């Protein structure tokens, strides 16, 4: 295998990564851009970096996506990236400012370092290194930059309406080795028009287990007593109380602690709001949804996960947001029908918010075989291809899979406080991507 990555590539990649990490590119819709000024700005800056590296670039006039391309030919190889991030969450849990990239103990720490700005820059510089090594592309390689991946995927939906589809490709937005199958994703909002004397807003995003949930109102003392009885972690303030949980990605929700569910468990001692009762009686502290769906699991992709991600209570209505990741062999209709029946029984109105079908690419395809061979040769790790509960842009096109950039030994810090990526892992991912791109786009 050739050695493409040089120290100059590592240094330049780190500099450019710091640049784009500084943009707080989480969803903040406004009248001028589809997803917010910071998202627009990071897209423009990334395309500027791409041009410096020798790519030809294009940006959607309305700001839904952009891409950077090298090479010639009929075939199109896609690297499917995203530049948006989830909100930083509770700033008190960060040891440094989430949008001021910090190097400490061999890690780069910032929101987006692991998901997905770090892997994006690693893949871009991998191709740059291959070109610097004097290789010639036998097809076009297009880095497609989405900017709404953490929400509704409106970016790639727009791309697919207007642009050329890939022949094959990968998304550097998961875990090594190769993710050849991804669970189905179904996000639901449950509504109730009942009135309330207080306001409550909890949960930052549908794909994150909420790490805190705050109640402000007349029942603070009573709720504190209930929290103590249940041995729940919380913070007491003069006029409010915050239930503490543990934030993880929704795909790993059984590993988290859901603060919204815990708040509902104690708040129902004072309030019979339908959504709170649904959380207490149906969702419970069970991130598998067993009380709603029963045992849902398959050999190929494992268990169903169910995350009560967001809760909004105000004097006019209540909205509960739920994120479900279900096994690849299960039908969407089964999941939807079960949840709808439970919601209706609880007096809630069911609304489908987002749906992404499962991904499956056979193991014997040249794409999977080549990516696996590169990874195994570079690392000596012989573990088989994997199935994920995460949803990556690989689902948006045929013959695409997720490929890295998180190495198996690395802690998954995406969507949590102090998100970070080891510099050693960043550079190893660059090396793996360079060899993979050389094999699939040059030979």
List residues with catalytic annotation: 84, 149
Coil, strand or helix at 202 = strand
Question: Could you give the CA distance from residue 211 to residue 373 in angstroms, rounded to a whole number?
Answer: 39
Coil, strand or helix at 233 = coil
C-alpha dihedral over 325, 328, 331, 336, to 10 degrees? 0
Question: Could you give the CA distance from residue 26 to residue 179 in angstroms, rounded to a whole number?
Answer: 25
> Which residues is 421 bridged to in the sheet?
108
DSSP-based helix, strand, coil % in the chain, nearest 5:
35, 25, 40
Q: Which two tokens stand for residue 433?
A: 């991507």
Neighbours of 382 (CB within 10 A): 9
Question: What's the count of helices (H) and strands (E) in the chain, helices before strands?
Answer: 11, 24
Report the chain's C-alpha Rg in angstroms: 22
* Residue of 400, 392, 398, 385 lying closest to 356 (CA atoms): 392
Q: Which two tokens stand for residue 212?
A: 């805190």
Q: Which two tokens stand for residue 415?
A: 């969507």
Q: Is the separation of the CB atoms in 278 and 190 below 8 Å?
A: yes
* Residue of 26, 51, 48, 52 lying closest to 39 (CA atoms): 26
Coil, strand or helix at 174 = strand
Q: Which two tokens stand for residue 409?
A: 């030994």
Before 314, cis peptide (omega within 30)?
A: no
Would you give the DSSP letter of residue 282? I
251 φ, ψ to 5°?
-60, -25
Show the beta-strand stretches assigned E in 87-183.
102-104, 107-109, 140-146, 168-171, 174-175, 178-182
Question: Could you give the CA distance from residue 389 to residue 252 in angstroms, rounded to a whole number?
Answer: 8
Considering all CA atoms of the chain, what is the largest pairwise distance in Å, rounded to the nearest integer? 70
Q: Is the separation of the CB atoms in 279 and 320 below 8 Å?
A: yes
Q: Which two tokens stand for residue 142?
A: 């297009």
């Amino acid at each position: 295998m050739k050695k493409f990555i040089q120290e100059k590539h590592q240094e330049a990649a780190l500099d450019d990564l710091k640049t784009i990490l500084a943009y707080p590119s989480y969803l903040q819709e406004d009248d001028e851009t589809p997803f917010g000024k910071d998202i627009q700005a990071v897209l423009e800056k990334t395309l500027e970096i791409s041009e410096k590296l020798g790519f030809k670039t294009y940006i959607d006039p309305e700001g839904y996506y952009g891409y950077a391309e090298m090479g010639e030919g009929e075939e199109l190889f896609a690297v499917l990236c995203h530049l948006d991030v989830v909100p930083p969450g509770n700033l008190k849990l960060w040891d440094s400012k989430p949008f001021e990239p910090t190097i400490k103990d061999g890690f780069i720490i910032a929101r987006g370092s692991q998901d997905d700005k770090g892997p994006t820059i690693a893949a871009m510089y991998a191709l740059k290194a291959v070109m610097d090594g004097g290789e010639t592309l036998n097809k076009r390689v297009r880095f497609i930059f989405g900017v709404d991946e953490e929400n509704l995927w409106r970016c790639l939906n727009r791309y697919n309406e207007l642009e050329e589809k890939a022949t094959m490709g990968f998304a550097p937005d998961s875990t090594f080795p190769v993710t050849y199958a991804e669970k189905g994703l179904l996000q639901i909002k449950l509504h109730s028009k009942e009135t309330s004397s207080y306001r409550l807003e909890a949960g930052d995003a549908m794909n994150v287990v909420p790490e805190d949930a705050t109640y402000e109102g007349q029942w603070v003392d009573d709720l504190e007593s209930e929290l103590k009885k249940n041995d729940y972690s919380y913070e007491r303030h003069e006029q409010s109380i915050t239930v503490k949980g543990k934030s993880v990605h929704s795909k790993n929700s059984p590993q988290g602690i859901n603060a919204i569910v815990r708040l509902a468990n104690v708040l129902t001692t004072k309030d019979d709001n339908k959504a709170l009762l649904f959380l207490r009686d149906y969702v419970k502290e069970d991130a598998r949804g067993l009380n709603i769906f029963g045992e849902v699991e398959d050999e190929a992709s494992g268990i169903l996960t169910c995350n009560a991600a967001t809760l909004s209570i105000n004097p006019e209505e209540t909205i509960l947001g739920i994120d479900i990741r279900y096994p690849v062999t299960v039908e969407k209709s089964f999941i939807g029908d079960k949840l709808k029946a439970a919601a209706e029984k609880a007096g809630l109105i069911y609304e489908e918010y987002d749906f992404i079908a499962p991904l499956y690419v056979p193991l014997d395809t040249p794409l999977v075989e080549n990516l696996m061979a590169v990874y195994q040769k570079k690392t000596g790790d012989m573990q088989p291809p994997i199935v994920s509960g995460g949803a990556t842009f690989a689902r948006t096109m045929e013959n695409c899979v997720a490929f890295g950039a998180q190495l198996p030994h690395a802690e998954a810090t995406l969507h949590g406080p102090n998100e970070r990526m080891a510099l050693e892992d960043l550079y190893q991912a660059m090396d793996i991507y360079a060899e993979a791109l050389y094999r699939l786009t040059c030979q």
